[in-house]
Structure 1
């Protein structure tokens, strides 16, 4: 989905960020700026909310396999490296 910047001030800010960060495009500059702002906002979330998000992600993965042997799996990884 496209994002169109129709505000001259926002466009100028995006261009300034692009230049200062040496991003190749405004899209790259805006993406990086939004990712940085999102990370900052997440760091400011209360621990309770961050943990709830982590639990939801873990729950979405499903139950673990009790028969899974992590040592064997890790040994196989290192032997094939």
Structure 2
């Protein structure tokens, strides 16, 4: 089934990519889509990335200090 690109800007990008890679426009589209699909398949979900960060960088133990307005005023010298 043919693929028609009706947007001039997209057609220019495909032509530029094809020239850069030294391939036909058809192969340029195929390469670009294959690369995008590969990156999407390899992408680690944000939830898993955050879980790995939390595991690698544990939070310090609770100090019992209350971080209220008075606490921040004292930190900034506004006692």
- Please list every run of at least 4 consecutive aligned residues from structure 1 whose deviation after the TM superposition is greater than 3 angstroms: none
TM-score, normalised relative to structure 2: 0.54
| Aligned residue number for residue 63 of structure 1 | none
Identify unmatched segments of 5+ residues in structure 2: 46-79
More helix by share: 1
Count of residues paired in the alignment:
45
| Aligned residue number for residue 63 of structure 2 | none
The alignment partner of 2:5 has SS state of coil
Q: Matches of 1:10 and 1:45 in 2, distance apart?
A: 29
1:19-63 deviation line (CA, Å, top 9, x unaligned): 11111x1001000110001000110154xxxxxxxxxxxxxxxxx
| Aligned residue number for residue 34 of structure 1 | 33
TM-score, normalised relative to structure 1: 0.53
| Aligned residue number for residue 12 of structure 2 | 12
- Report the aligned-residue RMSD: 1.0
Identify unmatched segments of 5+ residues in structure 1: 47-81
